[in-house]
Structure 1
Amino acid sequence: MVKIAIAGASSQLARENIDALVATKKHEVIGLIRKDPAQFPSLPGVTWVKAVYDDKSELVRLLQGVEVVMCFFPVHFDPGCATQKRLIDAAVEAGVKRYVPSEWATGTQLESSLDGIPWYAGKVEISRYLEDINKEKKVIQYTKFQVGAFMNYLGHPHKTSNHVNTLGFLFDFEKQHATLLKDRLDDVVVWTTVQDIAGVVARAVEYQGEWPAVGGITGSRVTVGEMLRLGEAIGRPFTVDWLKLEDVSAEERTMERFANFDLHTSPPEEVAAFLNMALKGILLGISRGAYAVTDEWNKILPDYKFTTAEEFLKKVWGSK
């Protein structure tokens, strides 16, 4: 049994992970939330606790006896990463053994792509913070779960997970439309289902070896050209809008306008404006390898069977 505290436990991906941990019937989970705990379902082994993240001493108290802390904060909502840094400091003070930063996307090339994906800058800052606090001696073990893109988005509008909402984006199989960079068919995107992310996490908390600092989870490694061919193979060929890399690179992207942006609650016009910016930024990131995630956890868990993009697409959309 592992005692696990989950910060940002009301987030959609956090809920997927909590379900996977509950399914093991092994662990004690503390779901740290900002809302009234009474709003959340009763789950075996799960205690919902209203957390005051501005109070470090209270966080230290809540984390007593906890072995693993996982964070699911949207980093663009945390200026200077102050809240997550306070959580890390509290975990260290409380004697927590392992920490999972709010990563859950992209890969090792993120830093070189921040001009395209500025809303992820906090992930890089937290990575440096964890490196710094372990510089003299290791005070807390951590792994950055890097997963690429959620494969479930390829199934939109079909509901393919219990908690994560999707939208048609990049490759829209419903509308059979894609927006891509010209002459970049060999660019790689790793697609991983949220179920596989949660499945790996549930095994990782029990892993007795040293956690890898870079914790790549590779569900399915697919080039842009291969995804277009998969669309044809299942009878959903794409109409493609081709953009030029130099045009996308020249555009300036900033998060100032979207400081309080939430994909799931913002007005439709804000969502449309953000997605227009995000699509081009993500394409730029893809061209630089930001979504070509490594496979550290695949190697640690060689018996785990990941869902491939082809399997997922055939299940959701049928085969030709």
Structure 2
Amino acid sequence: MEAIRNVAIAGASGALGSPIFEALLKSGHFNVTVLTRHSSEAKFPDSVKVIRVDYTSVPELTEALAGQHAVVSVLTTSAMETQIPLIEASVKAGVRRFLPSEFCANIGNPKAGSLPVYHSKVQLHDVVRQKAAENPNFTYSLIRNGPFLDWSLAFGFFINLKGGETPLYDGGDRPFSTTTLATIGQAVVEVLRHPDETKNRAVFVQDLVTTQNEMLAIAQKVKPEITWTTKNVSTAEMEDMAQQKYASGSMDLVASVGFFCRSVYAEGYGGEFKEVDNDLLGIPLKSKADLEVLIKDVLENAN
């Protein structure tokens, strides 16, 4: 496949979109165009081309994507359905590589993929695979990275930052893969730089594999003045709760977190990636010392 040079990104101002956008710019390998809603107030550098679009309009999107080699979608989970017109427009515009807004757990694992919180992503896979099968010049890559390491630390997803009671999911000893936002941005860059090797498949990346108990031990080491107590929480019970909420139409954050925890911490859900593409992408793994620095920084900013 010819080198990818022109890249359009949708969702460039979000929590994950911003570091991906920055990585694309800083790499120096791409001409980056930002797609944004007509109503968006997000600001971007004057040097970057910004095209305001209606994500429901295939003709408008097709015009916006003229000349683009790749599209990176970092649209939020609540906007998953808007990617369908974006995919259709990408095909019509001759885009060669599409990266849907995946960036999550290993939802190729049947157990994880069956969780309702991931259904929209799985359905999108069906669409993008079908389009690739029907249009040989259109290809895709699915990036899977586990929970966002720095973001999840800062929001207390792994441990309670302020001390006191902290939940240990299924005992807290289940290893899981996790990746910082910056590394995910670098992964996007390298996937686009390796179009043949990453064609029409899932690409796995991680900074490290750890456990909740390991993180808690590091937190206790770097902040001995904070006292933590632990409470075992069953991810099976969390999934049951989340299923009931979804069934009643209450698709709130509590329910979503129940499903997320199941996919990350439960046995058999693929939370620890068995094979990763770090070597292909030239992305080194982080050390336990690096993890300690991250945890120390987050704890110092939180307390």
Q: TM-score w.r.t. structure 2 length?
A: 0.82
Aligned to 1:229: 217
Preserved CA contact (<8 Å) 1:253 1:281:
no
Aligned to 2:15: 12
Aligned to 2:190: 203
Preserved CA contact (<8 Å) 2:175 2:209:
yes
CA RMSD of aligned residues (A): 2.8
For 2:276 and 2:238, locate their aligned partners in 1 and report how far apart those are by CA, in whole Å: 31
For 1:181 and 1:38, locate their aligned partners in 2 and report how far apart those are by CA, in whole Å: 39
**Structure 1 segment 238-257 matched on structure 2, within 5 A:** 238-251=228-241, 252-254=244-246, 256-257=249-250
Match of 2:260 among 282, 285, 309: 282
Q: Post-superposition shift, 1:169?
A: 2.5
Indicate yes or no: 2:299 matched with 1:300: no
Aligned to 1:267: none
Which ranges in structure 1 are unaligned for 5 or more consecutive residues? 157-166, 259-273
Q: Post-superposition shift, 1:48?
A: 1.4
Q: Post-superposition shift, 1:218?
A: 0.8
- The 1:137/1:192 distance shift into structure 2, 3 A limit, reads same
Preserved CA contact (<8 Å) 2:96 2:139:
yes
Aligned to 1:93: 92
Moved more, 297-306 or 194-203: 297-306
For 1:38 and 1:77, locate their aligned partners in 2 and report how far apart those are by CA, in whole Å: 17
Residue identity (%): 21
Aligned to 2:138: 140
Preserved CA contact (<8 Å) 1:59 1:90:
yes
Indicate yes or no: 2:159 matched with 1:171: yes
Preserved CA contact (<8 Å) 1:191 1:309:
no
For residues 45-64 of structure 1, the C-alpha deviation after alignment (integer angstroms, 9 at most, x for no partner) is x2111111222122111111
Moved more, 200-209 or 301-310: 301-310
Q: Post-superposition shift, 1:249?
A: 4.2
For residues 72-119 of structure 1, the C-alpha deviation after alignment (integer angstroms, 9 at most, x for no partner) is 1223334xx3x212211211121111110110111145552356x523
For 1:38 and 1:113, locate their aligned partners in 2 and report how far apart those are by CA, in whole Å: 35
Preserved CA contact (<8 Å) 2:153 2:159:
no
**Structure 1 segment 263-274 matched on structure 2, within 5 A:** 274=252
Preserved CA contact (<8 Å) 1:191 1:220:
yes
- The 1:37/1:169 distance shift into structure 2, 3 A limit, reads closer
Q: Post-superposition shift, 1:199?
A: 1.8
The size of the alignment, in residue pairs, is: 287
Preserved CA contact (<8 Å) 2:117 2:256:
no
For 1:303 and 1:39, locate their aligned partners in 2 and report how far apart those are by CA, in whole Å: 30
> Match for 2:254: what amino acid?
N
For 1:38 and 1:74, locate their aligned partners in 2 and report how far apart those are by CA, in whole Å: 17
Aligned to 2:151: 153
- The 1:177/1:67 distance shift into structure 2, 3 A limit, reads farther
Q: Post-superposition shift, 1:311?
A: 3.8
